[in-house]
Amino acid sequence: MTTLYGPRIGVALGGGAARGLAHIPIIEAMDEMGLKPSLIAGTSIGAFIGAGWAFGMSGREIREHALDVLGSTRALSSRLWKTQVYDIREMFQNGISMQFDALRVLGAFSPKPFPRRFRNLKIPLRVIATDYRSWHPAVFHEGRLDKALAGSIAIPSLFKPVIHEGRMLVDGGVVNPLPLDYASQDMDIVIGVDVNGDPLLTDPSLTPSTIDIGMGAAQIMMHALTAQTLGAYPPDIYVKPNVRNIDAYEFWRVREALAAGDEVKDRFKAQLTEKIDIFIAAQGRTAEAG
């Protein structure tokens, strides 16, 4: 007698800074369907949220935490300020840097407890960062999780590079903003969640700020890289919440990002149900033929 089994589901959670909060409703959707992925691959904010998921947090728990730490500009600013200077001696020794320390920011915004090592996770996770010196992806699945995540979220210029395992790491979105190649390894169903956004419709008479230009240029680059990845590793389900109007650094707009994810949630559930039904039907035909 042939035993039927559920599909192995791989999920790629893309980078997009504040827009990445739209990942959360997709996690909630899978929770509501009683499904867990067999593999998660994440870049930048996708790696951070994916780590919470891999640790065993539900989508609802991740949503509540995001609202708690990002729900107001005061709460956000307070946490960021605390990451800059721990004591007066450090300020005089190192000076006040305009760049944030990614490891400290990660610690300030992570739920407690949060795993420091990959071995503490319940679901396999691939964290994608960029090796600044070699220009190649740096992919982590064992050892120090916190360091790997810090490297993955280290947006150039905004964060200091992260030194980990002898490599200088910056944001994974520089080389692989939607890691479908790593999420698809030995999986039956592959899901890609793209939160990079689309061109923002703005008043042509306004001159963008320096940070807007920098973030916008990174978004254009990530859009081009994602298009290449989609061509090379087309997912079974491609999810793209409408986060066009949320700038990369506007984490205080957490409710709007969540709402964008909520809008695509039902369609995603219908698509995933269909793919699972097709997979199970194919198993049944194979069993009958055998």
Task: Give yes or no: 78 in active site.
Answer: no
Catalytic residue among 110, 131, 146, 171: 171
Q: Do 272 and 189 form a contact (C-beta atoms < 8 A)?
A: yes
The length of the chain is 290
Separation of alpha carbons 168 and 157, rounded Å: 14
Nearest to 62 by CA among 116, 125, 114: 114
Catalytic residue among 44, 110, 152, 184: 44
226-260 CB burial, b ≥16 within 10 A, e <16:
beebeeebebbbbbbbebeebbbebbbbbebbbbb
Separation of alpha carbons 262 and 265, rounded Å: 5
Task: Give yes or no: 262 in active site.
Answer: no
Question: Which residues have a catalytic role annotated?
Answer: 44, 171
